[in-house]
Structure 1
Amino acid sequence: MTAPAEPTGTDTTAATAGPANPLIAPTAAGHRRVLTGDRPTGPLHLGHYFGTLRNRVQLQSQGLELMIVVADYQVITDRDRPDRLAERAENLVLDYLAAGVDPGRATIFTHSAVPALNQLLLPFLSLVSVAELSRNPTVKDEIAHSRQSAVSGLMFTYPVHQAADLLFCKADLVPVGQDQLPHLEVARTVARRFNDRYGTLFPEPQALLSDAPLLLGTDAGKMSKSRGNAISLGADGDETARMLRGAVTDPDRHIAYDPEHRPGVSNLLLLTALCQDRDPHQVAEEIGAGGAAALKRTATEAVNEYFRPLRARRAELAADRTLLREVLHTGNARANEIANRTLAEVRTAMGTF
């Protein structure tokens, strides 16, 4: 599932919540199709990898059908104009493949290339009220942080666009962060009301919440492409070292994992632990009184070692842009087949031509 806000480590996938909330799937078992995606607004970074990409590969390995939307149309929800969309869309595909997404088993497609998907927006808009959209807390937050001088109709109706993204392929499992649950509830409402009014056609998709730890940026703030505080997947060893040398820590030489009181230090410990499949407290104990310099050196070595294979694959794939376009071409064709079939079913159910 995509969002106007920067995608972070909160948008995918391993379940953590129990079955008390029927919106949240406690496990992937019994589900068939997953939809997730990203907006092509810039390069993906380490937060995306540990929060989303790695988990997408795991879902794929569990046998679920993976649909990944490169949400190019959605770039203009909070921006006045798109920038280098085609190039950025290809770069997203590059990051997906380098991270291990198998295009032979996953459908990777661009939003703008699937007309029937977007045509579903009209009947879906008739199923929700303006008051319901106005109350959506995620929409309120996105409007508050919008880069536009005024709220567009596209921004206001964004949850219904996401409903179309999910329901066109009848996805029944959606990796999201906690902040995206209100959007998903709109999609479930649309599905339920359509089924009640016209006959059962759509599943009510469930959320799959992430237990992935949230990585901060090198400034100890929210990791974001636009804030210059994120290490991209395409960064080389030298760039990684430079970014981590400039990471915010604190004056205390004794290294300890304390996210609340020492966010910068704890973030580097967490990053190191994720790369080494260890507990951040254990990493902290080993560094001890070594101070920030030792911590940054350890983090740099861990990141560069962990991402060395991914970076090698990425460099190899980047040399053949034709392959990236072929992946999108194949994915777009597959997505169109699904969307055209769903739109035909909707027309039949509604009694239209």
Structure 2
Amino acid sequence: MSNERSYETALKRSDEIRADLNLHPEAYTMLTGDRPTGRLHLGHYFGTLKGRVELQNAGIRTHVLIADYQVITDRDTTEHIQDNVYNLVIDYLACGIDPNKTMIYAHSAVPAANQLMLPFLSLVSEAELQRNPTVKAEMEASGHELTGLLLTYPVHQACDILFCKGNVVPVGKDQLPHIELTRLIARKFNNRYGKVFPEVDALLSETPLLPGLDGRKMSKSYGNAINISMTEEETAKRIKKSQTDGERMISFDPEQRPGVSGLLSTAAICTGRTEQDIAAEVGMGGSGQLKAYVTQAVNDYFAPIRERRHTIEQDLDFVKDVLHEGNRRAAALAEETLAEVREAMGMVY
């Protein structure tokens, strides 16, 4: 899809919003979320979770969606989905998401939000959907055929954002086409039926993408990710098994030494130091000393989060209560918005 605005324009707008967030937090409603396809890892934590907690604590209205319906855009089973959903909630709470400040809810529990799909689908053409590069990338990555749900996935995302009148969405550069389509849908609806929805902007991430332990993209399928839920022993084992190279002198070189550099990046983000500093300190200590340093850095950083996680996972009733309350609040909010939509469209009988 040809972006209405360039990346540079979106980045400039994102910077303006970020500067205004602390001054006028009440002006912003943030929507973000995850697909419950497995455990969250360090990439998720530093890429999104940490930022969500900071925005929540700054007083911005935050809504966190567990996108369970989106699991079936490119998968043929919902096996383990309930377990994955509960573990997402446990991770959120352990990382600092506060259910008294943030609404945590599941897609499938908010029928009125999903009902927005019908009017929204009338506002986009098949060509606009076919051009979306994210949908193409996800289809290729999964090796799955293009289902109707995957094709309309960006419209479903527009429903997620607009049902709660969200006006900021934290995303990476690759997700900008989704935000642009949401803006287009909101504008077309407002022009056709009357103003109901806000203008939506991307809040572009300031955190560089954390690579996996082997330097590739952090992914469950590559086995190069450290999950938030892992114990200290499991973390040590995962790091110990990670591939490096035969060169003893440690240096940061993502192109030539992806494994060593992936480990250095992990240690750097957990300690607040630079990769170069850590490489210089380990020096001729080789991969064994580097892995010991990384293990210590990760386990030290995540010790309090894992301690909270261990306590929370002992009380599944509390986890369910958090989700039920979030679902209830989201459903009520969606009904209000759907009533406005019906009123605007003249569909109140």
Category of TM-score, reference length = shorter chain: over 0.9
SS in 1 for 2:17: coil
Contact 1:45 1:231 in 2 (8 A): yes
**In the alignment, what sits opposite 1:105?**
101
Q: How does 1:107-256 map onto structure 2 within 5 Å? A: 107-148=103-144, 150-256=145-251
SS in 2 for 1:66: strand
* Residues 306 and 21 of structure 1: CA distance in aligned 2, closer, same or farther (over 3 Å): closer
SS in 2 for 1:179: helix
**In the alignment, what sits opposite 2:307?**
312
**In the alignment, what sits opposite 2:328?**
333
1:257 counterpart = 2:247: no
Across the two proteins, how many residue pairs are aligned to each other? 336
**In the alignment, what sits opposite 1:77?**
73
Letter in 2 for 1:139: V
Letter in 2 for 1:155: L
Contact 1:69 1:109 in 2 (8 A): yes
SS in 2 for 1:222: coil
Contact 2:214 2:258 in 1 (8 A): no
Contact 2:214 2:242 in 1 (8 A): yes
Q: Distance in 2 between matches of 1:337 and 1:22?
A: 35
Contact 1:218 1:246 in 2 (8 A): no
Contact 1:79 1:147 in 2 (8 A): no
Q: By how many angstroms is 1:227 displaced?
A: 2.9
SS in 1 for 2:65: strand
SS in 2 for 1:133: helix
Q: Distance in 1 between matches of 2:266 and 2:224?
A: 14
Q: How does 1:5-84 map onto structure 2 within 5 Å? A: 24-28=14-18, 29=21, 30=24, 31-84=27-80
Contact 1:71 1:111 in 2 (8 A): yes
Letter in 2 for 1:126: S
Q: By how many angstroms is 1:183 displaced?
A: 1.0
Contact 1:220 1:267 in 2 (8 A): yes
> After the TM superposition, which of the residue ranges 53-62 and 211-220 deviates more from structure 2?
211-220
Q: Distance in 2 between matches of 1:155 and 1:314?
A: 33
**In the alignment, what sits opposite 1:283?**
278
**In the alignment, what sits opposite 2:4?**
none
**Once the two structures are superposed, what CA deviation does each residue of 1:181-206 show, in whole Å capped at 9, x if it has no partner?**
11111111000100110111111210
Q: Distance in 1 between matches of 2:8 and 2:135?
A: 26
Q: Distance in 1 between matches of 2:13 and 2:291?
A: 41
> After the TM superposition, which of the residue ranges 98-107 and 270-279 deviates more from structure 2?
270-279
Correspondence for 1:91 among 78, 87, 111: 87
Q: By how many angstroms is 1:84 displaced?
A: 2.0
Contact 1:159 1:183 in 2 (8 A): yes
Q: By how many angstroms is 1:228 displaced?
A: 2.3
**Once the two structures are superposed, what CA deviation does each residue of 1:45-71 show, in whole Å capped at 9, x if it has no partner?**
111111111111111111101100001
- Gaps of at least 5 residues in structure 2 are 1-6
Q: By how many angstroms is 1:247 displaced?
A: 1.2
SS in 1 for 2:33: strand
Letter in 2 for 1:63: G
* Residues 174 and 41 of structure 1: CA distance in aligned 2, closer, same or farther (over 3 Å): same
Q: By how many angstroms is 1:19 displaced?
A: 5.2
1:300 counterpart = 2:290: no
SS in 1 for 2:142: coil
Q: Distance in 2 between matches of 1:218 and 1:49?
A: 15
Letter in 2 for 1:203: P
Contact 1:35 1:66 in 2 (8 A): yes
Q: Distance in 1 between matches of 2:181 and 2:9?
A: 20
Q: By how many angstroms is 1:175 displaced?
A: 0.5
SS in 2 for 1:27: helix
Q: Distance in 1 between matches of 2:12 and 2:118?
A: 28
TM-score (norm 2): 0.93
Contact 1:219 1:247 in 2 (8 A): yes
Q: Distance in 1 between matches of 2:222 and 2:283?
A: 31
Contact 1:25 1:207 in 2 (8 A): no
Q: Distance in 1 between matches of 2:201 and 2:291?
A: 40
